[in-house]
């Protein structure tokens, strides 16, 4: 069943790439496996998936222990400063940096293990009260501040678009963050790359790809609905 789901997602990604005139290699599929058991991750791993996304530090670290070491673990959830030290070794990319204080803590912990940790700045592109992330207006300034930290490297931007029935409703938000990323890239800030754009989830990843996503984060579309009451 998971293999079938994945095949469908892969086909959709390819369709969106063709429509947008982009190469399939430009888009990385991150399988969002939060709340799902290791057996399901393993199944998808054997279908060829090497990028997994988790939103809780403990869950990410526990699953990493049990699965092959060539998996790239993406930390996509809100990160508390006191948890940074536990995830600093295990995260391939932290998608959810939304304050200087968090970046500072990542820098401290990264220095301790002599690593330069790649991060994305999370932007609350629709200005939703319920969402984490810095506002579009504050993003450039935050990037400039974080750029001065030695053991952290900004690779791009991430956003969680609003939950909508029709993905077309999110197209303007994807366009807006894409433009923001281009504008920041033009500033040529030392130590800041804008090569990654992490946007698009099960409901809207095809639209996100059409608007320039380089990472899509798909959970439900691969693993099925999440049941938070039993997990
Ligand atoms: C849960 C989650 C996803 C995946 O959502 P689906 O709608 O299940 O595809 C993507 N990004 C983040 C940050 C998430 O927390």
Q: What 3-state class would DSSP assign to 34?
A: coil
| Nearest Cα residue to atom 13 of ligand 1 | 76
Is-contact 36 57, C-beta < 8 A?
no
| Cα separation, 9 vs 6, whole angstroms | 5
Q: What is the pLDDT of residues 102-123, one digit of tens each?
A: 999 999 999 999 999 999 999 9
Cα–ligand 1 centroid distance for 200 (angstroms): 9
- Residue-wise pLDDT for 173-218, tens only, equals 999 999 999 999 999 999 999 999 999 999 999 999 999 999 999 9
Asked whether the beta carbons of 134 and 96 are under 8 A apart, the reply is no
Q: Which atom of ligand 1 is nearest to the CA of 220?
A: 8
- Rounded to two decimals, the pTM is 0.97
pLDDT of amino acid 228: 72
Averaged pLDDT, 69-88: 98
Query: Packing angle between helix 100-112 and helix 136-146, nearest 10 degrees?
Result: 30
pLDDT in tens, 118-162: 999 999 999 999 999 999 999 999 999 999 999 999 999 999 999
Q: Which two structure tokens, joined as six digits, stand for 146?
A: 């974080």
Q: Is 43 helix (H, G, I), strand (E, B) or coil?
A: helix
What secondary structure letter does DSSP report for 180? H
Give the number of the atom of ligand 1 that is nearest the alpha carbon of residue 221.
9
Per-residue pLDDT, 161: 97
Q: What is the pLDDT of residues 42-73, one digit of tens each?
A: 999 999 999 999 999 999 999 999 999 999 99
Q: How far is the CA of 114 from the centre of ligand 1 (A)?
A: 31
Instruction: Give 201 Cα–ligand 1 centroid separation in angstroms.
Output: 6
CA 71 / ligand 1 centre spacing (Å)? 18
Check pLDDT > 80 for residue 230. Answer: no
Hey, what are 227's tokens?
């049941």
pLDDT of residue 231: 45
Which pLDDT score is estimated for 229? Answer: 62
């Amino acid at each position: 069943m998971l293999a079938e789901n994945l095949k469908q997602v892969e086909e959709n990604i390819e369709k969106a790439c063709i429509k947008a005139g982009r190469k399939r290699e430009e888009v990385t599929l991150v399988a969002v496996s939060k709340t799902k058991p290791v057996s399901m991750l393993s199944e998808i791993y054997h279908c060829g998936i090497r990028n997994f996304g988790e939103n809780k530090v403990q869950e990410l670290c526990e699953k990493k222990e049990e699965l092959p070491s060539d998996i790239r673990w993406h930390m996509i959830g809100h990160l508390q400063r006191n948890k940074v030290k536990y995830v600093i070794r295990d995260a391939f990319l932290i998608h959810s940096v939304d304050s200087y204080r968090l970046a500072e803590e990542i820098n401290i912990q990264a220095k301790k293990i002599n690593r330069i940790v790649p991060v994305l700045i999370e932007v609350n592109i629709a200005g939703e009260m319920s969402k984490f992330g810095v506002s579009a207006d504050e993003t450039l300034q935050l990037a400039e501040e974080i750029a001065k930290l030695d053991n952290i490297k900004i690779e791009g931007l991430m956003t969680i678009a609003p939950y909508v029935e029709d993905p077309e409703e999110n197209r303007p938000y994807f366009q807006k963050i894409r433009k923001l990323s281009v504008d920041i890239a033009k500033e040529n800030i030392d130590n800041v790359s804008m090569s990654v754009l992490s946007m698009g989830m099960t409901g809207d990843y095809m639209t996100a790809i059409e608007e320039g996503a380089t990472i899509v984060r798909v959970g439900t579309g691969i693993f099925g609905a999440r049941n938070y009451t039993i997990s």
